[in-house]
Amino acid sequence: MKSLQQYISEAQNGKEGERKAIGHFNISNMEGFWAVVLAAKELEVPVIIGVSEGERDFIGVREISAVTKEYRNRSGQAVFLNADHSYSFEKVVEAVDAGFDMVIYDGTELSLEDNIAMTKKCCEYAKSKHPNIVFEGEIGFIGKSSKILDAVPEGARKMTTPEEAKKFVEETGIDLLAPAVGNVHGMVKGGEPALNIEAISVISRTVEVPLVLHGASGNSKEDIIKAIDNGVAIVHINTELRVAYRAGLMKSLQENPDELSPYKYLKGARNAMQKVVEEKLKIFNKI
């Protein structure tokens, strides 16, 4: 099977208008796992499962790593695992040692110099343990919540500059960069802010590494496609999955008030998430 790095390169190697992105979907439980892998299997595209620090604590760091590896080895499906938004060296070490395919260190609330120093330290450790691991750094605060927001979080609209991005990539040695380009974690009531496509294009040409779009829940199809065409190789979705899970579960319980078997009433939640994943993967892969 190809490596995650190879899939990322292939996604961005197409001619203008033909570039694709790999979908990254956060999960907290096995319903989420199956929603993601079954959707990707149906469409025959690679996919990344993301687990944040909180999600890792809930589902188990080594447990989700073991499940992903076993499923990939058995099925041959291109499913990869990412330690999303790791805020400390210790959490990066934990994920690297558990055998994750990809890790993100998030130092966006630090000064640029401190973010560079910590990201470099984390990246060097990851590469020393697993040379083929994909390491991502993040620059520019876009909020931290996967919720429905009344407004854009304070400080989350400051764009990453090309100069900051270039310095960050060159001094850290990362494989992927997640910049702040008008994106916001969570979903904003009344409509998501438009992405700054020009900023994405300029940063992409400046740093010459693939970009990652965080906080893409709620962004328009048109914005996401433009972002992919201008250098975004991975797109993150979380909040929309959480909304679908909750709605699917509530509907299932309301329609079957006497049902006590979790595998029956949780199926509605899984199916609702799978539908969202399929819709997003079609956009990212231009299917």
Q: Is the pTM of this model over 0.75?
A: yes
Say what the pLDDT of residue 201 is: 94
Q: Which residues pair with 134 in a beta bridge?
A: 102
How many residues does this entry show for the chain?
A: 287
Pair type for strands 187-188 and 148-149: parallel
Tokens 């995650």 -> residue: 4
Task: Measure the N-to-C terminal CA separation of the chain; round to a whole number of Å.
Answer: 22
Active-site residues: which are they? 84
Say what the pLDDT of residue 153 is: 60
| Structure tokens given for 94 | 């934990």
Say what the pLDDT of residue 155 is: 58
Q: Which of 49, 105, 40, 107 is nearest to 82 (CA)?
A: 49
Say what the pLDDT of residue 158 is: 74
Residue spans of alpha helices (H) in the chain: 4-12, 30-43, 53-59, 61-75, 89-97, 112-129, 162-172, 197-207, 221-229, 239-255, 262-265, 267-284
Q: The domain containing residue 75 runs over which residues?
A: 4-284
CB 234 within 8 A of CB 176: yes
| Structure tokens given for 233 | 């190789």
What single DSSP character describes residue 160?
A: P
The domain that contains 255 carries what CATH number?
3.20.20.70
Listed as ranges, residues in the chain with pLDDT below 70 are 15-16, 142-157, 185-192
Note the pLDDT tens digit of each residue in 148-157. Answer: 645 556 655 5
Say what the pLDDT of residue 161 is: 94
Say what the pLDDT of residue 7 is: 96
| Structure tokens given for 208 | 């010459």
Burial 69-88 (b: 16+ CB within 10 A, else e): eebbeeeebbbbbbbbbbbe
**177-179-181-187 Cα dihedral, nearest 10 degrees:** 100
CB 112 within 8 A of CB 169: no
d(CA 260, CA 243): 23
Mean of the per-residue pLDDT values of the chain: 92
- Residue 22 sits at the vertex; the CA angle it makes with 21 and 28, to the nearest 5 degrees, is 140
Domain count for the chain, please give it. Answer: 1
Say what the pLDDT of residue 52 is: 96
CB 205 within 8 A of CB 169: no
